[in-house]
């Protein structure tokens, strides 16, 4: 993996990272916003400590462990990636409440257009802020966006010590079964 200097990472601040999407996906995974490593590489969940790619594999969504640089392969499995907030930052706490709300509005428009079977938001705090649902918990939600069902998954960031890769994989696998892929 390419190593970036702190100046190179800082230069990636506010950069946009293209979505990995197509119409009619089984699951559209939605991160909070791109981190600086993701923005520098152009690949979602690129920070080495992020557990998204290992958990995706452990849960059975992918037949092998994909590298962030192989993100386009997700489309062949009926999977995609987007973010609540498009701009890159070093930490999610740099985002304003208004950015989350606007991100939720834009995400709902995107989901209405793409019509995935499931929207899976990785991070309950981001989901609560984007959709003004203070009581949301990890798991399936009552909310639908058109015909799209919504599931909140644990945040795969290495900073989320409440969940191990194994317990995250169990929750991701619950979604995989509900999405009809297992």
* pLDDT confidence of residue 5: 87
* pLDDT confidence of residue 158: 63
- C-alpha pair distances (Å), 162 with each of 11, 91, 119: 31, 18, 22
CA–CA gap between residue 157 and residue 130 (Å, rounded): 18
Q: Tell me: the pLDDT tens digits for 53-106? A: 999 999 999 999 999 999 999 999 999 999 999 999 988 889 999 999 999 999
Does pLDDT of 1 surpass 70? no
**Cα–Cα–Cα angle for 132, 23, 35, nearest 5°?**
50
């Amino acid at each position: 993996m390419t190593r970036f200097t702190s100046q190179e990472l800082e230069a990636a601040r506010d950069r946009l990272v293209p979505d990995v999407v197509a119409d009619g996906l089984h699951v559209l995974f939605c991160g909070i916003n791109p981190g600086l490593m993701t923005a520098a590489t152009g690949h979602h969940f690129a920070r080495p400590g992020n557990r998204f790619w290992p958990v995706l594999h452990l849960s059975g969504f992918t037949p092998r462990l994909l590298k962030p640089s192989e993100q386009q392969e997700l489309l062949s499995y009926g999977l995609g990636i987007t973010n609540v907030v498009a701009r890159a930052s070093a930490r999610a706490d740099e985002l304003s409440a208004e950015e989350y709300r606007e991100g939720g509005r834009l995400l709902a428009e995107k989901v209405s257009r793409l019509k995935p079977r499931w929207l899976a938001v990785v991070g309950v705090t981001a989901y609560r802020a984007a959709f003004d649902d203070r009581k949301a918990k990890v798991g399936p939600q009552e909310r639908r966006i058109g015909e799209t069902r919504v599931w909140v998954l644990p945040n795969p960031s290495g900073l989320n010590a409440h969940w191990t890769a194994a317990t995250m994989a169990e929750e991701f696998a619950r979604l995989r079964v509900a999405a009809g892929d297992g």
